[in-house]
Amino acid sequence: MDTAIVLLIAYLLGSVPSGLWIGKLFYNKDIRESGSGNLGATNTFRVLGKSAGITVTLMDILKGTAAVLLLHLPVFADSGVHPLTLGIASVIGHMFPVFAKFRGGKAVATSGGVILGYSWPFFLVLIASFLVILKLTKIVSLTSMAMGVIALIYAIINYVRTGDLYLLIVIIVLSAFIFYRHRANIGRIKAGTEPKVKWL
């Protein structure tokens, strides 16, 4: 029973539609009706500006982190769930949020939050790589998919060093989520029509 409850809570944490709520509460705007129509941080930057975009990015990251850290609560300490399983539940919630008719974001920031909750050095590697690649390309979707590849390389090296197979499996799953959610962007990148960021 504890297992089902903690998985549900992780999913509900991920389901918090940060971009939707920030847009409606502070800007009287539904970001699903503008830009790409996506609820993620990138569309928030595009539609609502830098301040809102940064806020939503942080909120989306912390959703994944909070889910992973649920096992630190005494009530869930003996649930027998791996923290990364809770992370996957939160990412699924982010992509298919019950609070936003199951139309969510593209899994990038929340996946980063999962990694932050599990291994902060790994997270720092990804953040540094993200900023450098985004600065060079100006394309968030391309940078996001590059993070999936970098994360996979890191997880393989980490597995060789530490034997952490579970992390490797979860990174494969999260990277697959990211590439799947960006499948339309891949076509636009190939066609040279993918929008570039103007705020960096």
pLDDT one-digit tens code per residue, 124-149: 999 999 999 999 999 999 999 999 99
Q: Which domain holds residue 15?
A: 2-191
Would 198 be classed as within a structural domain? no
| CA-wise closest residue to 192 among 142, 123, 131, 133 | 142
Would 200 be classed as within a structural domain? no
Res 32: pLDDT = 87
The number of domains in the chain is 1
Would 199 be classed as within a structural domain? no
Would 69 be classed as within a structural domain? yes
Res 35: pLDDT = 78
Residue 193 has pLDDT above 80, yes or no: yes
Would 166 be classed as within a structural domain? yes
Would 196 be classed as within a structural domain? no
What is the rounded average pLDDT for all residues in the chain? 93
Would 14 be classed as within a structural domain? yes
Would 28 be classed as within a structural domain? yes
Better pLDDT: 155 or 2: 155
